[in-house]
A = this chain, B = another copy of it.
Amino acid sequence: MTEAASRPTLEAVAARAGVSRATVSRVVNGGEGVREPLVERVRQAVEELGYVPNQAARSLVTRRHDAVAVVIAEPEDRVFADPFFARQLRGISKELTAHDNQLVLLLTEGRDDHARVARYLAGGHVDGALVFSLHLDDPLPGLIRHAGVPTVFGGRPGWSDGAGRAAYVDSDNRGGARAAVRHLADLGRTRIAHITGPLDQTSAADRLDGYRDVVGHAEPLLVVESDFTPGGGERAMRALLDRVPGLDAVFAANDLTAAGALRVLRERGRRVPDDVAVIGFDDMLPLAEQTDPPLTTVRQDIEEMGRLMARMLLHRPGPGAPGGDGAEADAAAGVVLPTTLIRRASA
């Protein structure tokens, strides 16, 4: 219970081991070019004193921080209706931990916070940033790119100004949607409706594209834009049933929407999947398992997305590497992860 009084310094360790500070430093940082017996002596001294390097002092000279910012820009409550970010965080955390990096979490509450985040990032407190921003018109990504910090985005960024260079990780929204709709078609369904998400988000737009890849643009009446919420799903489902009473399948852009749709279908006396088959997207648990009937849906490997984002940031070619200055790295700007159709009872 020795009170934190003042923690031992390199100096103290050096004294104890009977070597110079430089030697201790070398040992602490990997021990390259120090002879074995000395290494051992220093290790022991470190152990005995419970020495932990002072990161501030180290950063001051190395200009590295071994810290990465995770920026989550989600003004709405959606972040919390959804374990999505939590899972990605887990993936990110694992990868960062494996490389001895710390995770600094920056949550933004709205536009006011943007300046704060931009300042922080520009302030060089972290070695890079992982950014989640879902809306096309979000000014934050621009601010961040301007801050000159190496960045990897979560989800395909929607802006278009020479953004070919932005590194990102996304899941295969389009392919997943295609698989879902194709599955409905294979079931013999011919009037397949789609409840979209907010189309200012690339994930929603991509899922719509996937739907169209299979059914074409033939029946615009079968597509309703919604908002990724259960309430929106209900409204959309009602509209669809009013417009096309004979529809026999629904592909909802996410599970929340699908849950709302399911309720309306039940309320209107449609049996699922007998009369109308339903597929969602996300495999959001426990929701997808708890709906009635349990929801067939498209799963994405969210944790892996997080891990990959961190890996891309950490392993990007260093500032001195050929072909780039680090911030605007290398070739493969975007990485897209596969999705899987999870069959339950609803389709």
Q: What is A's interface to B at a CB cutoff of 8 Å?
A: 1-4, 7, 50, 52-57, 59-60, 65, 67, 70, 79-83, 85-87, 89-90, 93-94, 97, 102-107, 109, 113, 116, 119-120, 122-125, 146, 148-149, 230, 256, 259, 263, 285-287, 289-292, 325, 327
| Residues in B whose Cβ lies below 8 Å from that of A54 | 60, 123-124
| Residues in B whose Cβ lies below 8 Å from that of A119 | 52
A321 vs chain B, min Cβ distance (A): 15
Cα distance A120–B66 in the bound complex, in angstroms: 13
Are B52 and A123 in contact, with the CB atoms below 8 A?
A: yes
| Residues in B whose Cβ lies below 8 Å from that of A125 | 55, 102
A292 vs chain B, min Cβ distance (A): 6
Per DSSP, chain A at the interface is: mixed
Q: Which residue of B lies closest to A148 (CB)?
A: B4
Cross-chain contact of A290 among B109, B122, B230 (Cβ < 8 A): B230
Are B285 and A81 in contact, with the CB atoms below 8 A?
A: yes
Cross-chain contact of A148 among B3, B102, B120 (Cβ < 8 A): B3
Cα distance A104–B65 in the bound complex, in angstroms: 13
Cα distance A292–B93 in the bound complex, in angstroms: 36
